Structure formats: structure tokens, C-alpha cells
Amino acid sequence: MTRHPRPAVPRHVAIIMDGNGRWATARHLPRVSGHSRGIDAVRAAVEQAGRRGVEYLTLFAFSSENWRRPQDEVSTLMRLFVSALQKEVGKLKEQGVRLRVVGDRAAFDPALQRLIHEAEQATAGNARLHLTVCASYGGRWDLVQAVRSLLATSPDAAALAERLTEQQLAAHLGLAFAPDPDLLIRTGGEQRISNFLLWQCAYSELYFTHTLWPDFDAAAFDAALAWYATRERRFGQTSAQVAAPAAEELRA
């Protein structure tokens, strides 16, 4: 397969949704109202991704480290998660969206675990857009659980070490069903990965914007896609090397 150096639309967009708290604080509102508005922005991003032909959208909703936030903020985020699942699943189903939740699900309340399972089952037949919500997720957690899972299937660690390939390990990661993200967006002005998809973002284009997540609307999504369309993706090769197959395609 020829990897085109300037693909117009990313197949997979991943987003670190940051800035809910600051959005609320700037309006003298409690931080949690920023998270509520964040859900509206999630809906807008899902719709715009579908319209633009993005196949995979992966959202960082709650990190392994977010459990350390004040208890009332954690409880509110869990309640929002439950109500979003209850309210939105029907719409996701109609829109052809397949929902998955990736993360340490055992850490959630059993009722939330059940809702997640039901939502995944209800949308399992869809394939227009694969929406993945990373919750109780960390890139390091994912790597550790992948190694555990790999060792469970091949208990002879010494033999495994001899023949282990990148593909074999990647098959045990939470996002094994998806291609690596082409574009990683982080809202809220910080320029870091914060333990998101550490393995999968090795070659992702990184887009940082000062826009706070509740303000990240369809136009902001399009601006990120427009920036992505200007990027030359080299995957470790030189500019001349990646230009050559594209030029051959034009001549053919």
C-alpha cells in the first residue's frame, strides 16, 4: 500500500479535550458546568467527523490520573458519562456510529460498566464512524495491560522475548482495532501528550490550539483538518522519498 504523503482527510483523529475547567471559571461557573458544555462539544465533533469522512474518532474523556481530582468533580464526571450514554446511544445508532470505551473499566461503578456494555452492543453493527471514548485510560496502563495479556497467551516469557514483534504487542493494545491516529488534536493551549496514546501517536501530526474544549465547534474541527491537509507525512523517510511515489501516481 502506498502511503500518500499529503492525504486530504485523516482516517483517524484523536483528541485531548482540555480546558473545560478554565472555560467555566472564566464565566464564574463551577468547573463541572464546563464538563457539561464539553459534552455538547463532543456531540459537535462526532457530527463533524462523520460529515468530513473521518473513519475513527478517539476522545480522551478521563485519564488514569483524573481519579485523583476532587471527589465531587469525579462523581459529576461519572454522572455525566452515565447520562450521555443514556441520552446519546439512540442517536449514535441512527448516525451509523460504533461506540467503544477503552480503559480500565473495572474501576467504574458496576451500573456504568453495564451501560457501557449495552451501548457497545447496541452500536456494534455500525461502521460509518468508529467513536472510541478513552476513560480511566492511560498510555502506560495500556502498555502494561497489553504485556500482561500477551504473557497470558504465551506464558513462556523467554521464548516470547526471542520472537516478539511490534505487531504482536500492538494486537493486545486497547485500540488494536484502529489504524494509528493520523492527527492528534489538543485543545486548551497546553502542548503535551499527557499519557494519551503513547504507542499509537508515534507518527501522528500534532495540532495544538488555545481554543478551550467547550468552544471547539465544527469550524474549529475544520480548521484542524485544513492544517492537517498541509502536512507532509514522512514516516521517517526523506521529503524526496515520500514525494517519489506520489509523483509516480500522478504519471500513471
Long-range (24+ apart) CB contacts under 8 A made by 73-77 are 73/31, 73/32, 76/32, 76/35, 77/32, 77/35
If binding is defined by CB under 6 A, does position 20 make contact with ligand FPP? yes
If binding is defined by CB under 6 A, does position 19 make contact with ligand FPP? yes
The piece of 48-56, 79-87, 172-180, 225-233 that touches ligand FPP (CB under 6 A) is: 79-87
Distance CA 68, CA 49 (A): 31
User: Which residues in the 197-236 window bind ligand FPP by CB under 6 A?
Assistant: 213
If binding is defined by CB under 6 A, does position 35 make contact with ligand FPP? yes
Instruction: Find residue 185's DSSP bridge partners.
Output: 15, 207
If binding is defined by CB under 6 A, does position 42 make contact with ligand FPP? yes
If binding is defined by CB under 6 A, does position 39 make contact with ligand FPP? yes
Sole residue written with cell 509516480: 248
C-alpha cell at position 137: 485510560
Tell me how long the chain is.
252
Contact 190, 196 (CB under 8 A): no
Give 154's DSSP letter: -
- By C-beta, is 18 or 142 nearer to ligand FPP? 18
Picking from 142, 138, 213, the residue whose alpha carbon sits closest to that of residue 176 is: 142
Q: To the nearest whole angstrom, how small is the minimum distance from the Cβ of residue 110 to ligand FPP?
A: 18
Among 33, 66, 113, 145, the residue binding ligand FPP under the rule CB under 6 A is: 66
Contact 105, 134 (CB under 8 A): no
If binding is defined by CB under 6 A, does position 10 make contact with ligand FPP? no
Q: Which residues are catalytic?
A: 18, 66
- By C-beta, is 181 or 188 nearer to ligand FPP? 188
- By C-beta, is 81 or 137 nearer to ligand FPP? 81
If binding is defined by CB under 6 A, does position 133 make contact with ligand FPP? yes
Q: Is 92 helix (H, G, I), strand (E, B) or coil?
A: helix
Distance CA 51, CA 55 (A): 10
The piece of 37-45, 112-120, 192-200, 225-233 that touches ligand FPP (CB under 6 A) is: 37-45
Q: To the nearest whole angstrom, how small is the minimum distance from the Cβ of residue 73 to ligand FPP?
A: 8
Phi, psi of 209 (to 5 degrees): -130, 150
If binding is defined by CB under 6 A, does position 84 make contact with ligand FPP? yes
Which residues of this chain interact with ligand FPP, rule CB under 6 A?
17-22, 35, 38-39, 42, 59, 61, 66, 80-81, 84, 133, 188, 213
